[in-house]
Chain A
Amino acid sequence: MTADVQTGPAHAVPAPTTTRWHEVCAYEDLLPERGACALLEGIQVAIFRTFDGELFALSNFDPFSGAYVIARGILGTRGGTPTVASPMYKQVFDLRTGRCLDDTEVALPTFGVRRTPAGRVEVAL
């Protein structure tokens, strides 16, 4: 990255203090085995629904490319671990921990995510 980098406070991930749950969408709005992105207090959260119905939430920021694209990656498994591959340069991340399986020094921040009895999806900041 060159001199073109600007800093936007809106994109920083705040230190986890108190947990606030945010309603995002209906569970049915999420396609099975695909991601969607939510904008919550200026933070981009990638939310995934796996084929067995589980939900995961990670930062949408791809540290390898510097673009906000994780939600658009392909879901899958690697040796039993549920994963998402960045659509940009294809690094694979563990959906449960955010850890990058191709470069273990890198991890994406993860967020709490749940499905309410009313069928809504909520994310914790």
Chain B
Amino acid sequence: MDVGGDTRRRLVVIGHGPAGHRLVEALRERDTAGAWQITVIGEETRPAYDRVALTSYLTEDAELAFPAHGPGVRLHTGDPVTGIDRAARTVTTASGAVVGYDALVLATGSSPFVPPVPGRDLPGVFVYRTIDDLDALRAHCAARPDAGGVVVGGGLLGLEAARALQGLGVDTHVVEVAPWLMPRQLDEGGGAMLRRHIESLGLTVHAGTPMAGLEAGPDGGVARVRLSDGSAIESSVVVFSAGIRPRDELARGCGLPVGERGGIVVDATCRTADPAVWAVGECALVDGQVYGLVGPCFTMAEVVADRLLAEATGGPGQAAFGGADTSTKLKLMGVDVASFGDPFADRAEGTLGVTYTDPVGGVYKKLVVSDDARTLLGGVLVGDATTYPTLRAYVGAELPGSPEQTLFGGTEPAGGDLPGATVICSCNNVSAETIRCSIRDEGLTDVAAVKGCTRAGSSCGSCVPLVKKLLDAELVAAGIEVSKAICEHFEHSRAELFDIVRVRRITTFTQLINEHGRGRGCDICKPAVASILASLGNGHILDGEQAALQDTNDHFLANLQKNGTYSVVPRIPGGEITPDKLIVIGEVARDFGLYTKITGGQRIDLFGARVDQLPQIWKRLVDAGFESGHAYGKALRTVKSCVGSTWCRFGVQDSVAMAIRLELRYRGLRAPHKLKSAVSGCARECAEAQSKDFGVIATERGWNLYLAGNGGMRPRHADLFASDLDDETLIRYIDRFLMFYIRTADRLQRTASWLEGLDGGIDYLREVIVEDRLGICAELDAAMERHVAAYSDEWRDTLADPDKLRRFVSFVNAPTVPDPSIAFAPERDQIKPVLLAGPQLEVVSR
């Protein structure tokens, strides 16, 4: 590598992890004069990527690469630096390259610590740090279905690794030496509660028992983990996640001071004992501490960028590292755990610990406050971490209410009260003041803009709710009303628009926007208004102007897939289907070469249809007696059923018949969001009715009705609304519930969050639906009767209308030509979509 006869200063960065990457970006951003010429040398074969999101590489094949550095940065990967000659100011790499520097930054990060136990080098033993580690782990597990596995270490990373390993189909055990999980963040009570959550995920926990060693099986690979109490865990894969060690070997090799327990010693400007050498990130020992979180690593990188620039330009370098927030939140789906500030501060004199335990709900919370109970010092949240972003921001500041109120979530502070110095985003070290200023100075009006401008919220994302609060408070202060406006085209909320359309009998979008809005609408208000018009019964959703309002799914009456093809879901009410109809679905799929899959909604999805094939496919299905399943619509999806009293020896009512009756009654009903339902034949609840928008469970005397349940991202158990109902009362209540929801909910608000936001909750809902407190029941009943009477199958109607059919072509100028960009590859005897490379992006210069 030749650095050329350039007169600019030469900066060499060793290590291209998050810290090295951020340093280069920060310097490039500020060094507009190009004072520094930058060379980065990395050991990994790929450029820097988002290590924090590493697990999503395993679980979702996520793309982790950070944006490439712009021109002018030389990046040399796959070649570790092996030595530093401080006298000559050069570094040497494994391949023999020698590179000279004027300034050198060590950003070598850390490596996983593998305790010196017998068997640690056996095949089948892994660490969890790089993409290469994960590739090796995945390949190993793929070759061993049904394997047992052990993760050594029950800390943040260990639990994340354990869940990922489980995702690879491995029956996973976690071995933790300390008496409870996450001992560095949690106290004993929190650790015990966390264990219950972890075990309910199907992971087995061994805490308080050190490991004695690993034993090999007949194939020479690891087969067993032996614990010090003599017991053994069968496991053909072992992942060590027992802490990290700073990679300070280069510093040691060239005589730079390192800490007693490792880490390159630096001052508050991140400079080592040699003024030409700096260290940032997890390899650095600053303030006597090595930080294992990305936030402080970024801060150090920013500090050094500032100092380097000052050095080159003779300006005043001011940035210094002043300690960092070490609050953490576990990134496990379904387990809420967080600690913030100093969670162990209550071990000191003059502090108070306030705890709250709910063994039934699995919730444990602790706040540590100063002895006047006003200043928040730290705390722990297990089982419910919704208040984490706010509490974290209050560390070191005065609480707005008493600790008890805060624990019970009674006083959700408005973002406006937060002191300016409070760090809102600890990943990127952004304070409340910085966010407020940029909102004011740049005139920002949404969270995306704040993210782009300040970087707050762009890493782990846990601070986003708080960023939103700050934004709202700023907007209110600026006299900009934080309106419920659905988008820039209407001042109104969805519920208000619904009433306007209903009361004024408006039937077109054009009329509505001319009289009550501005501009020409967008992809937010148009589908919302289309849905309102449909809920109020305005004919076929593709009639006249309505067609132009629909999202592509509703426009083609099918679901868009990643390669531009669509999926087809015929309705199968209650999940009941005759063999003949099953055969038709099979034949259609075979004849059109579609991928078929049983959905989670008890029906069959056919994937990979081009728009021009949709009418032909539906012609066959409609002729065989199928109708639209509305999988594409914000409408009733499915009413799942269990087999019920007809066959099941425990069933007490005919759940299939009731499910079919409900599905046929509400099919085609357009709503603010999709609607799902299920009917179970007895209390064993095989249809999972309590996770549905409306669920029905049979009793000896009739039906229990459950409302506002939800699966999905934030599951919610439905609330029992009424018991032992007869068929007719059941249906009347559901009619009213649905119509009331359709009238009053926000756009894309499921019934669960609608009910949570409804003043008075389920009791109020009972007053409205059962006691007719608002005097609107007759209206709601009539609206549902109109829906039922007006129902007709959208696909049958479309097939009968040549005007509508004309849209189902890939190309207007060549209606018979299939889209050549659509391609498939075989997989497990079916097809899967393949994306072809597209045209080059046109990049607009800034």
Residue among B520, B810, B825 with the most chain A CB within 10 A?
A: B520
B839 touches A109 (CB 8 A): yes
Which chain A residues numbered 84 to 125 have a C-beta less than 8 Å away from chain B? 85, 87-88, 90, 92, 98-99, 102, 104-109
- Is B313 on the interface with A (CB-CB < 8 A)? no
A residues less than 8 Å from B510 (CB atoms): 51
| B631 shortest CB reach to chain A, Å | 16
Cα–Cα distance between A59 and B552 once the two chains are bound (Å):
18
Q: Mark B542-558, 1 if CB is under 8 A from A, else 0.
A: 00010111011001100
A residues less than 8 Å from B820 (CB atoms): 8, 10-11, 39, 42
A51 touches B520 (CB 8 A): yes
B552 touches A73 (CB 8 A): yes
B835 touches A59 (CB 8 A): no
| B448 shortest CB reach to chain A, Å | 7
Identity of the chain A residue whose Cβ is nearest the Cβ of B520 in the assembled complex: A77
Identity of the chain B residue whose Cβ is nearest the Cβ of A121 in the assembled complex: B812
Of B545, B812, B814, B841, which one neighbours A47 at CB under 8 angstroms? Answer: B812
With contacts A39-B814, A69-B560, A106-B844 known, is A6 near B836, CB below 8 A?
yes
| B519 shortest CB reach to chain A, Å | 4
Cα–Cα distance between A7 and B834 once the two chains are bound (Å):
11
| A61 shortest CB reach to chain B, Å | 4
Segment of B235-243, B521-529, B683-691 in the binding face = B521-529
B812 touches A25 (CB 8 A): yes
A13 touches B839 (CB 8 A): yes
A5 touches B560 (CB 8 A): no
Cα–Cα distance between A79 and B519 once the two chains are bound (Å):
8
A residues less than 8 Å from B448 (CB atoms): 102
For this complex, into which size category does the number of interface residues on chain B fall?
A: 35 or more
Q: Mark A47-79, 1 if CB is under 8 A from B, else 0.
A: 100110000000101010111110011111111
Of B556, B564, B825, B842, which one neighbours A68 at CB under 8 angstroms? Answer: B564
- Is B625 on the interface with A (CB-CB < 8 A)? no
Identity of the chain B residue whose Cβ is nearest the Cβ of A29 in the assembled complex: B812
B552 touches A72 (CB 8 A): yes
A residues less than 8 Å from B836 (CB atoms): 5-8, 11
A residues less than 8 Å from B560 (CB atoms): 69, 72, 87-88
With contacts A74-B526, A76-B523 known, is A39 near B817, CB below 8 A?
yes
Identity of the chain A residue whose Cβ is nearest the Cβ of B835 in the assembled complex: A66
| B419 shortest CB reach to chain A, Å | 33
- Is B563 on the interface with A (CB-CB < 8 A)? yes
Number of residue pairs spanning A and B whose beta carbons lie under 8 angstroms apart: 155
Of B523, B548, B837, which one neighbours A7 at CB under 8 angstroms? Answer: B837
Q: Mark B817-840, 1 if CB is under 8 A from A, else 0.
A: 101110101000000001111111
- Is B488 on the interface with A (CB-CB < 8 A)? yes
Which chain B residues numbered 517 to 543 have a C-beta less than 8 Å away from chain A? 519-523, 525-527
A37 touches B563 (CB 8 A): no
Identity of the chain B residue whose Cβ is nearest the Cβ of A10 in the assembled complex: B820
A residues less than 8 Å from B821 (CB atoms): 8, 11, 44, 67-68
A107 touches B842 (CB 8 A): yes
B residues less than 8 Å from A47 (CB atoms): 812
Cα–Cα distance between A83 and B812 once the two chains are bound (Å):
21
| A57 shortest CB reach to chain B, Å | 12
- Is B61 on the interface with A (CB-CB < 8 A)? yes
Cα–Cα distance between A6 and B819 once the two chains are bound (Å):
16
- Is B562 on the interface with A (CB-CB < 8 A)? yes
Identity of the chain A residue whose Cβ is nearest the Cβ of B814 in the assembled complex: A39
Q: Mark B627-668, 1 if CB is under 8 A from A, else 0.
A: 000000000000000000000000000000000000000000
- Is B318 on the interface with A (CB-CB < 8 A)? no
Cα–Cα distance between A108 and B840 once the two chains are bound (Å):
10
With contacts A63-B838, A67-B562, A75-B520 known, is A24 near B547, CB below 8 A?
no
B522 touches A77 (CB 8 A): yes
Cα–Cα distance between A56 and B841 once the two chains are bound (Å):
19
With contacts A76-B522, A77-B519, A85-B523 known, is A67 near B813, CB below 8 A?
no
Cα–Cα distance between A83 and B523 once the two chains are bound (Å):
10
Q: Mark A1-39, 1 if CB is under 8 A from B, else 0.
A: 110111110111100000000111100011111101111
A74 touches B522 (CB 8 A): yes
Cα–Cα distance between A107 and B542 once the two chains are bound (Å):
31
Identity of the chain B residue whose Cβ is nearest the Cβ of A82 in the assembled complex: B520
Cα–Cα distance between A30 and B78 once the two chains are bound (Å):
54
Cα–Cα distance between A53 and B521 once the two chains are bound (Å):
16
Q: Which B residues contact A (CB, under 8 angstroms)? A: 61, 448, 488-489, 510, 519-523, 525-527, 545, 547-549, 551-552, 555-556, 560, 562-564, 807, 810-814, 817, 819-821, 823, 825, 834-844, 846
Q: Which 6 A-B pairs have the closest CB atoms?
A: A76-B522, A85-B523, A87-B552, A67-B564, A74-B523, A33-B548
Sample of 10 A–B contacts (CB below 8 Å): A13-B840, A29-B812, A31-B807, A42-B820, A67-B821, A74-B523, A80-B519, A83-B522, A92-B522, A109-B839
